[in-house]
Amino acid sequence: MAFRRDALGTNRLDTNLRGLGSQVGSEIDLCGHVRKMGLEIIFDDRILVKHYSAPRPKDDVRTDLTGPVWRDACFNIHYLIAKHFKIHRSFAYFCHGRLVGSRYMPGLFASLRWTLKRDWSIWKRLWQMSLVAFSGLLAGRRMRTAVNRRLRDLQPFTSQDSTTA
């Protein structure tokens, strides 16, 4: 991804994101800030990006499905969706993830599928990820409420406000 510096303004990555190194979901946060500024996010398939992989921190093992990386990713994604979108979208995303899911962030249907393949540990992951996703959803809603309250407090006082008070 590439962003113009002026498109990001003074916004920086959220320090509430979990994980080491490059936090999973940080691009959702950047796109959310750009969207709130009223700018467009454009996909251009002509852009070529060459990634140079940096060494990952010791605990950043992406193949360990029960490790902290996927719990952090689950929290971050649910946190950022709840932070940047209204409650009905946040809740719909949460419910879809808990119902459908994937091997990395299992939902009910994915758990049934992996049970047929004799992966009994999927039920423990389903429970863990559901708790993590719910905590991310709650944290994101709290952050959205706090930001909206701060923005509302910064609104200038107008003469119309005095007539309605």
pLDDT in tens, the chain (165 residues): 777 778 777 777 788 999 877 788 888 888 888 888 888 888 888 888 787 777 766 666 666 656 688 889 999 999 999 999 999 999 999 999 999 987 678 899 989 998 999 988 889 989 999 999 999 999 999 999 998 888 778 766 554 554 554
pTM of the complete model beyond 0.75: yes
| Axis-axis angle for helices 68-84, 122-154 (nearest 10) | 30
Tokens for 142, please give them.
Answer: 């709290």
Question: Does residue 162 belong to any structural domain of this protein?
Answer: no
Instruction: Estimate the share of the chain in helix, then strand, then coil, as percent rounded to the nearest 5.
Output: 55, 0, 40
Phi then psi dihedrals of residue 15, to 5 deg: -80, -5
Question: Does residue 165 belong to any structural domain of this protein?
Answer: no
Question: Does residue 53 belong to any structural domain of this protein?
Answer: yes
Number of domains present in the structure of the chain: 1
Q: Are 65 and 105 in contact (CB under 8 A)?
A: no
Question: Does residue 125 belong to any structural domain of this protein?
Answer: yes
Alpha-carbon distance 161 to 35, whole Å?
Answer: 29
Question: Does residue 25 belong to any structural domain of this protein?
Answer: yes
Question: Does residue 161 belong to any structural domain of this protein?
Answer: no
Question: Does residue 100 belong to any structural domain of this protein?
Answer: yes
Tokens for 65, please give them.
Answer: 């499905």
Domain hosting 91: range is: 5-58+65-154
Question: Does residue 164 belong to any structural domain of this protein?
Answer: no
